[in-house]
Chains A and B, each alone.
Chain A
Amino acid sequence: MSMITSHTAFQFAAVLYALALAAALAPGKRSLPVNLPLAAAIGCNLLAVGLRCHQAWPMLPMHLGPVALPLCLGLFYPLAARNCEPSLRRPTQRILLAVVVLLTALALCFPKDFYLPFLKSKTLLAHGFLWFGVVGKACFILSAAWAANALLPRQSSHAISAMGRSHRWAALGFSLWTASMFSGELWSYLGWGTPVVWEDPALTLTMAAWFFYGCLLHLHLTRSWSQTHRALYASLGGLVMLTLTCLPDLGPFRIPFGL
């Protein structure tokens, strides 16, 4: 009996996300051509994530981040631009879909899903570490998307509104990132006796992202930089930072739709 695998489901999701992006970039204001493939893509992505979690439960599926992150962003898509005008909403949603397509392409080209789960990950703290981190990172991407939106040439009230939203998503992301770090530290203490295990280089990037967004929140609260500089920091800096945090979850190159 042939069954759909997590990888196949994710391949379908990637194609459907790309279709949704193409529809979003096409001229016209109808939302159905975007929402339909997007809903199907989220369904396929959910299946891919669900299958990998099912295969590893109660342990943690290794390097699930690149597969779970597009799912979170897809689920955030309707929430990302709630209660705002279409002229303000569309650029953010387009950026968001572009990032989702880029992430799925990266996850398909550089998969690292060949590692088996390990016994010590059989704790809720490990799952908290993963999921708080993934949702936090999705919030950071939304913050970067809104900041990029604020840089587009238009009325200043739009830019102020976009930066306000960027700040809110960054604050939410920072809280979830902190929760992820605390879960990881507690797990590390219970499992290995120390809150920081120096065998894992990814922890430095996790801390780097925490300081980067801590700095961003201070810049927002104190207004010590101009709005344009803050928007540049949150969008370009955020993009660089988030790309770096994805590095440890990426493996060697594979042909994405190879048999």
Chain B
Amino acid sequence: MKTVSARLWNRLSSINLTVALCLLLTMDLVWGYFCLNRRTALFTPLNDLGLIPWAQTYGSHNLLATGWFFLLLTLLALLAVNTFACTTSRVAQLLRAKGPGGWQRLALRLAPHVMHYGLIVILAGYLCSYLFTQVLTSSTLAPGSHLSLPGAGGQVQLLAVEPEYYQGERLAFWKNEVIALRARLLLSDNTGQREAFLSCNRPVRFQGYSLHLIDFAPKSLNGMKMKTRIDLHVRKDPGVALYLAGMALFSLGLILYFYQWIVHREAHR
């Protein structure tokens, strides 16, 4: 029994498997480019629906165009398992054979493995995000109107929209268009009220939800007069912290790896 599990572990931690998976992923993603390019509308709901409902509807009914995506998920799952097995084996070897140089040297030697673990955390974060995210799409707010957050007892009210119109000469196509927009929100729950400012790349976090500004009106000082409104995406995404942590871990590994590379090069001069 032990030999079977050891053999399976060895197979799973094979670097040849990594190479094969990376090649298959590359080819699958190139295939995916052409499918996504031709049938973009099929994949757009994936942002809001989540993985399972999307797979049961758009995904399973258009397998010719979405097959690459299911293959991608399978290959990524295999890559995560292979990366975990391979990295864990190497880390165990490194920890057993502590060479000269102490902990600092060991930390530098662990750099590539930190990157590998970072990748696994990122993939886990994405999976978590696509499986468990709650999305309220197209929540439109006009000044004075409010939005209730489901299950949280919180309310978001739009107090005012503060647009900044471009008045310079350099961006001719942008003259009198909104160049920056700030939406003043009132966030209230059982504990009290507070004001927050929402803009294009600055979401507001409230009661576990993140509020993202997707669109707004009016966009121009001239032209057709439209009522003032903002369109929001409201999301509760439990995977964010995980994939951000994964990115931080991967970046740390990368920095350590380059530091080790430079130190190694200097030592050999």
Using a CB–CB cutoff of 8 Å, the interface residues on chain A facing chain B are 54-56, 116, 119-120, 122-123, 125, 171, 175, 178-179, 182, 185-187, 189-199, 201-202, 204-205, 207-209, 211-212, 214-215, 218-219, 222, 224, 241, 244, 247
Whether A215 lies near B23 (C-beta < 8 A) is yes
Q: Is chain A's interface secondary structure helix, strand, loop, or mixed overall?
A: helix
Given A116-B173, A193-B235, A224-B15, 17 further pairs, Cβ under 8 A:
A55-B171, A122-B180, A125-B201, A182-B250, A189-B240, A190-B212, A191-B201, A192-B47, A194-B237, A199-B44, A201-B40, A207-B25, A208-B33, A212-B22, A212-B23, A212-B26, A215-B18
B221, chain A: closest CB distance, angstroms: 15
Contact between A201 and B243, CB atoms less than 8 A apart: no
Q: Which of B100-136 contact A (CB under 8 A)?
A: 126, 129, 133, 135
* Interfacial chain A residues near B254, Cβ < 8 Å: 175, 178
Q: Are B201 and A215 in contact, CB atoms less than 8 angstroms apart?
A: no
Interface string of B39-55 (1 = CB under 8 A from A): 01001101100000000
3 cross-chain pairs, A with B, having the tightest CB-CB distances, nearest first: A215-B22, A208-B29, A201-B36
A76 to B36, CA, bound (A): 34
* B19 contact set on A, CB distance < 8 A: 215, 218-219, 224
**B137 — nearest CB in chain A belongs to which residue?**
A193
When distances are taken between beta carbons in the complex, the residues of chain A under 8 Å from B203 are: 190, 193
Q: What are 18 A-B interface contacts by the 8 Å CB criterion? A: A56-B171, A120-B201, A122-B180, A122-B201, A178-B254, A192-B47, A192-B214, A198-B43, A201-B40, A204-B29, A207-B25, A207-B29, A208-B26, A211-B23, A211-B29, A214-B22, A218-B19, A222-B15
A-B contact count (CB 8 A): 120
A211 touches B129 (CB 8 A): no
A197 touches B247 (CB 8 A): no
A255 to B183, CA, bound (A): 46
Give Cα A202–Cα B37 distance, bound, in whole angstroms.
8
* Neighbouring B residues of A244 by C-beta, 8 Å: 30, 33
Distance to closest chain B CB from A241 (angstroms): 7
Give the shortest distance, in Å, between B229 (CB) and chain A (any CB).
Answer: 16
B143 touches A (CB below 8 Å)? no
A133 to B73, CA, bound (A): 25
> In the bound complex, how far is the Cα of B24 from the Cα of A208, in angstroms?
10
B210: interface (CB < 8 Å): yes
Contacts of B214 in A (CB 8 A): 192
Check B250 against A178 for contact (C-beta < 8 Å): yes
Cα–Cα, bound, A247→B33 (Å): 10
Chain A residues with Cβ under 8 A from B18's Cβ? Answer: 215, 218
Min Cβ gap B200→A in Å is 5
CA of A222 to CA of B20, assembled, Å = 14
Distance of B97 from chain A, by nearest CB (Å): 18
| Residues B33 and A197 in contact, CB atoms below 8 Å apart | no
State the Cβ distance, B46 to closest chain A Cβ, in Å. 5
A140, chain B: closest CB distance, angstroms: 13
B98 at the interface (CB under 8 A from A): no
Chain A, Cβ-Cβ closest to B30: A208
Bound-complex Cα distance A55 to B36 (A): 31
Contacts of A123 in B (CB 8 A): 200-201
Task: Given A201-B40, A211-B26, answer yes or no on A120-B200 (Cβ-Cβ < 8 Å).
Answer: yes
